Amino acid sequence: MNADFKITPEKLLQYDEYVEALDFLDEDSRFEYIIDIGKRADKVPFPADCMNEAHIMHGCMSKVWIVHELNGGAHFFKGQSDAIIVKGLVSIMTGAFSGLTSEELAALSLDHVRGLNLGALTMQRQVGMMAMLKHMQKLSRRADIAAEVAEVTAAAD
């Protein structure tokens, strides 16, 4: 990856909306906002058959499941958690970083997580958010490898 790689601003519009909203709120209001996002996430059902070991994200005290889809070179994520505040955090992360290419995802850093201004969270939740970014980056790399293998296999047939 090129260390100078920049993600175009239009690719991070959802991220910027979250940053702006969270910057505007005080600490108590941030928690309410995150919980509201978690409640809204329930309006789009997460596939029950994906709440399994294959989709679980390790590194979080709550149970978190993330599904990934590669479509047209862009990576899309959906997530679920058994804890409402974590469900909101998962929704923020998957919403903010869906639609990016592998190179764009790889260019994301822990500064992007810090940029969400979630310092009021416990250290464990902050670590979990950072682990979630690393997990989404790992899922994108795996999907790219699988797509390359499928391409090579198809070409060989």
Q: How many residues does the chain have?
A: 157
Q: How far apart are CA 88 and CA 72, in angstroms?
A: 27
Enumerate the β-bridge partners of residue 100. Answer: 75
How is residue 119 written in tokens?
Answer: 């310092």
Residue 50 bears catalytic tag: no
Q: How far apart, in Å, are the Cα atoms of 86 and each of 28, 34, 97, 157?
A: 16, 8, 16, 45
Beta strand ranges found along 57-116 (DSSP E): 64-71, 74-81
Give me the catalytic one of 22, 37, 60, 116. Answer: 60
Catalytic residues: 60
